[in-house]
Amino acid sequence: MDAIRLRGGNRFSGVIPIAGAKNAALPLMAASLLTDEPLRLANLPGVADIASMKNLLVTHGVAVANGEAAGEASFDASGVRDTTAPYDLVRRMRASVLVLGPLVARFGRARVSLPGGCAIGTRPIDLHLEALRRLGAEIDLVDGYVEARAPRRLAGADFTFPSVSVGATENALMAACLARGESVLRNAAREPEIVDLGRCLIAMGATIEGLGTDVLSIQGTDRLRGARHRVIADRIEAGTYAIAASMAGGDVTLEGANPETLRALLDTLAGSGVEIAENGDRLRVVSPGGNTAGMDLVTQPYPGFPTDLQAQIMSLTTVASGASRITETIFENRFMHVPELLRMGADIRVRGATALIRGVSRLKGAEVMATDLRASVSLILAGLVAEGETVVNRIYHLDRGYESIEAKLAACGADIERIAAPA
């Protein structure tokens, strides 16, 4: 597996183009299953998870054609012949489960492998299943597969999620668009990626109210049509580079970002002494580097501080002046970056879901590895400011979610290279 080698200490200045949001693109691609007309998406990021979702859709019989411009593709689900999502594809990417709602809503049946264990906690799919059952799907678990049937179409329902789930909200929202009658989804997730999905569904002919709030009302219809849609900017990618600039010191402009979707992070950075300037879709981050102030933060569903930026902000606190406290409330076991940061000289103590961090004056380069996407990138950020050389192994996870990461960092002055695994 490839590794990334970097030498810390350079200032970080330049312009970084922000890619389309992976977490918006994945449900949008699954939504193509809702119609027999082509769905044309633009601004798809060039990351491995997008390729995995394309593979899964092709397995179902969706015709996928890449457009002329990078990031454009059309998805034509008029010839779907197979409603099974096999274990081998689902196990590699949990978001594969997003095909469940669209398949059962349009074809009255779906067979989707259970995602299985995951490095950042148990991550069950009970909320997805509960919502689809409430919409009238009959669901059995057979040999590790979810078997869902709705021979006489799904029926609108009023459902309150017992806890907030991004994926379950997306699955239920897509399914409800093709159900008979009205559905109301309460305690729904409000992430910008869900708003983006809702806008695309509306362009496909759906009637949805309440996007961006925690109550979604959907008027079901018999048929959706094709549409064109541009995926929103990746707030997690933008946030990651904003943190990189804050740590390393420098002056970075993130182009094509959406600062509105990053409010919790930008307020946190501004509160710790980083200068943030917003100008439309350009976000400028100016930082002296190193000794930003400590912070106290808790991850929350949107609009709270995103769990997907928790590992990265923890890297920043390891070199902040003074102490910080970070509490993770979304996923259990999402502190896997901690032992690796300790190996680089960080001072972190974990008590349950809370990490207490004392800033040190300098991290030291080391050989490290991580077992999930955001943990991996947090080690890259630590390496950018560490003394000497850092090698981050098993970067397979990074490639799942960050487009051209070493090129984007190198363009801002980072001393970074990819080392290809021996063939």
Closest approach, Cβ 282 to ligand UD1, in A, equals: 25
Residue 3 or 139 having the CB closest to ligand UD1: 139
Phi and psi at 164, nearest 5°, equal -80, 130
Which of the residues 118, 177, 200, 412 is marked catalytic?
A: 118
Closest approach, Cβ 331 to ligand UD1, in A, equals: 5
Q: Rounded distance, CA 29 to CA 196, Å? A: 12
Residue 352 or 422 having the CB closest to ligand UD1: 352
Residues that bind ligand UD1 (CB under 6 A): 23, 26, 94-95, 121, 123-128, 163, 165-168, 193, 307-308, 330-331
Helix, strand or coil, per DSSP, at residue 187? coil
Residue among 385, 390, 384 at smallest CA distance from 409: 384
Closest approach, Cβ 30 to ligand UD1, in A, equals: 10
Select the residue whose beta carbon is closest to ligand UD1 and give its number.
167
* Number of separate helices (H) and strands (E) present in the chain: 14, 24
Residue 307 or 376 having the CB closest to ligand UD1: 307
Q: Rounded distance, CA 85 to CA 261, Å? A: 32
Q: Rounded distance, CA 345 to CA 318, Å? A: 9
CA-CA distances (angstroms) from residue 253 to 206, 241, 277, 379?
A: 37, 9, 9, 22
422 burial via Cβ count (<10 Å: 0-12, 13-18, 19+)? exposed
Instruction: List residues bridging with 326 in a β-sheet.
Output: 297, 355
Q: Rounded distance, CA 79 to CA 362, Å? A: 57
Tokens of 282: 């350009």
Residue 308 or 403 having the CB closest to ligand UD1: 308
Tokens 């729904």 correspond to 188
Q: Rounded distance, CA 279 to CA 52, Å? A: 35
Closest approach, Cβ 167 to ligand UD1, in A, equals: 3
Residue 357 or 375 having the CB closest to ligand UD1: 375
Q: Is 118 a catalytic residue?
A: yes
Residue 94 or 153 having the CB closest to ligand UD1: 94
Q: Rounded distance, CA 61 to CA 64, Å? A: 9
Closest approach, Cβ 239 to ligand UD1, in A, equals: 12
Closest approach, Cβ 193 to ligand UD1, in A, equals: 6
Phi and psi at 418, nearest 5°, equal -90, 135
Q: Which residues are catalytic?
A: 118
